[in-house]
């Protein structure tokens, strides 16, 4: 396996940071389940035992990465999206943009988080489960707030905010999975497009679909 970095090549970087940086790259590239401690050690150019000097388990290592790189970002999501008392339509667009940017940053990061929910015995790892639950809470509560405000301002139809939030969050998640290529059997015309323009176009398309539906007027 090609080394991501090594202590010899980066003497100024602490081993703990080296382990975290290497693990993040491997988790994103290979997924959580398929990344082993020995893979992280080999890629970082250190011994397997060295990792256990800093982290008690792969779960502990992943939980810290999840908290630092994902959960902490979503903890600030509501303030970032709702500032300046902007329209709820714009807030929803910002929500989609936030989710898509996070997916773009971590490539198939959504894939390994979904994999955890579907395949991993989270009951055995309460710290990891708590981090994932916080992530879900921040995403869902922000969306419920936007919808509730939209209904109150008469920008949106009088819907149940919680039911609508779950529906919209599911639609966004599926669309991001499609954009990240997780449904490889379905090719899309913009697959080779990159950059802000491509993501902005897709955000606007998804927003219009969510606001107006298939039979709506654009």
Span 90-128, pLDDT tens digits? 999 999 889 888 877 765 555 566 666 666 677 788 888
Residue with tokens 């008690």: 56
In a domain, 2, yes or no: no
Same-domain check for residues 65 and 140 = yes
Domain of 208 in residue numbering reads as 59-212
First to last CA, the chain: 50
Same-domain check for residues 101 and 147 = yes
More confident residue, 73 or 104: 73
Same-domain check for residues 50 and 103 = no
* Residue 89: C-alpha distances to residues 104, 171, 175, 198, 211 (Å): 22, 16, 19, 20, 8
Q: How many domains does the chain have?
A: 2
Instruction: Dump pLDDT digits (tens) for 184-217.
Output: 455 544 444 444 555 566 677 778 877 776 554 4
Percent over 90 (pLDDT), the chain: 39
Same-domain check for residues 30 and 63 = no
Same-domain check for residues 182 and 92 = yes
Same-domain check for residues 97 and 136 = yes
Residue 9 and residue 7: Cα distance in Å, rounded? 6
Residue 22, number of CB atoms within 10 A of its CB: 23
CATH number assigned to the domain comprising residue 43: 1.10.10.60
The closest alpha carbon to 91, from 141, 142, 135, belongs to 142
Same-domain check for residues 45 and 132 = no
Same-domain check for residues 45 and 111 = no
In a domain, 160, yes or no: yes
Q: CA dihedral in degrees (184, 190, 193, 197; nearest 10)? A: -130
Same-domain check for residues 24 and 95 = no
CATH number assigned to the domain comprising residue 149: 1.10.357.10
Mean pLDDT along residues 151-163: 93
Same-domain check for residues 43 and 151 = no
Same-domain check for residues 65 and 39 = no
Same-domain check for residues 48 and 63 = no
Backbone torsions φ then ψ of 19, nearest 5 degrees:
-60, -45
């Amino acid at each position: 396996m090609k080394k991501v970095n090594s202590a010899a090549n980066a003497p100024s970087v602490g081993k703990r940071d080296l382990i975290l940086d290497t693990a993040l790259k491997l988790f994103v590239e290979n997924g959580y389940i398929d990344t082993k401690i020995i893979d992280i050690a080999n890629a970082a150019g250190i011994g397997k035992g060295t990792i256990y000097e800093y982290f008690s388990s792969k779960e502990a290592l992943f939980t810290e990465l999840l908290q630092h790189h994902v959960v902490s970002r979503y903890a600030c999501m509501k303030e970032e999206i709702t500032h300046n008392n902007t329209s709820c339509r714009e807030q929803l667009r910002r929500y989609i943009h936030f989710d898509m940017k996070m997916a773009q940053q971590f490539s198939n990061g959504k894939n390994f988080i979904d994999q955890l929910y579907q395949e991993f015995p989270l009951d055995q790892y309460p710290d990891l489960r708590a981090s994932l639950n916080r992530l879900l809470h921040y995403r869902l509560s922000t969306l419920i707030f936007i919808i509730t405000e939209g209904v109150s301002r008469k920008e949106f139809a009088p819907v149940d905010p919680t039911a609508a939030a779950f529906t919209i969050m599911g639609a966004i998640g599926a669309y991001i999975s499609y954009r990240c290529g997780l449904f490889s059997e379905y090719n899309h015309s913009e697959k080779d497009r990159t950059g802000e323009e491509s993501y902005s176009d897709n955000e606007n398309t998804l927003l219009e679909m969510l606001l107006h539906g298939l039979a709506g007027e654009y």
